[in-house]
Amino acid sequence: MFEWRNDRVIDLKIRPPKEEDGPVLWKLKYGEKEPVWKKWDAPYFPLVHVPKEEFLASYRFDEDSPDQWVIETDGAIIGTVSYYWEHKPSRWLEMGITIYDPAYWNGGYGTEALRQWISHLFKAMPIVRVGYTTWSGNKRMVRLGEKLGMTMEARMRKCRYYNGEYYDSIRMGLLREEWE
């Protein structure tokens, strides 16, 4: 899919991961001891490094396990989109996104990736709502939800403690009829 951004076109697609993506995904996530992306992606939870062989042996690389796809632009994997069931019997689904390389932040890549992911989830799943949880320290993620027409459904005040400060936990959500 293409999105115009500041007089340039973003060529971005999301797709299920392939086995040959494994080493790239491992390097993006675990290749640095203290990656920059982790400062924004729930930094109050520690990143537990997984050895490459263990990661490759446990990662699901098939279309029958569609809960995590890769984000690709110009032939390079830059991140992942994912979902999990908060409560499957009631069809409460939550999603997430991580763009690992800061060179792709603030360029519309996250917006386009989540736009495609939301469309895919509503098309493929019997859900009426999709959402995500972030924290008030990640202003880009809050703004991303707003750009996609999401509603701030909840704000749990000062429940995330990070680097000596309290932050709010924020839930953003979108209904199928709002998306269509």
Counting residues of the chain whose pLDDT is more than 90, the rounded percentage is 79
pTM: 0.90
Q: Judge whether 22 and 56 are in contact, CB under 8 Å.
A: yes
Closest Cα partner for 24 from 75, 73, 77?
77
Selection from 174, 171, 105 nearest residue 140 by Cα: 105
Q: What contacts 22, CB < 8 A, 6 or more positions away?
A: 55, 56, 59, 61
Domains in the chain: how many in total?
1
**What's the pLDDT tens digit per position in 75-97?**
999 999 999 999 999 999 999 99
Domain of 15 in residue numbering reads as 2-179
Task: Specify the pLDDT at position 2.
Answer: 44
Residue 14 belongs to a domain with what CATH number?
3.40.630.30
pLDDT digit string, tens, across residues 11-36: 899 999 998 999 999 999 999 989 99
CB distance 43 to 162 below 8 Å: yes
Between CA 148 and CA 136 the distance in angstroms is 18
Residues 6+ apart with CB under 8 A from 60: 17, 67, 68
Q: Supply 66's token pair.
A: 């569609």
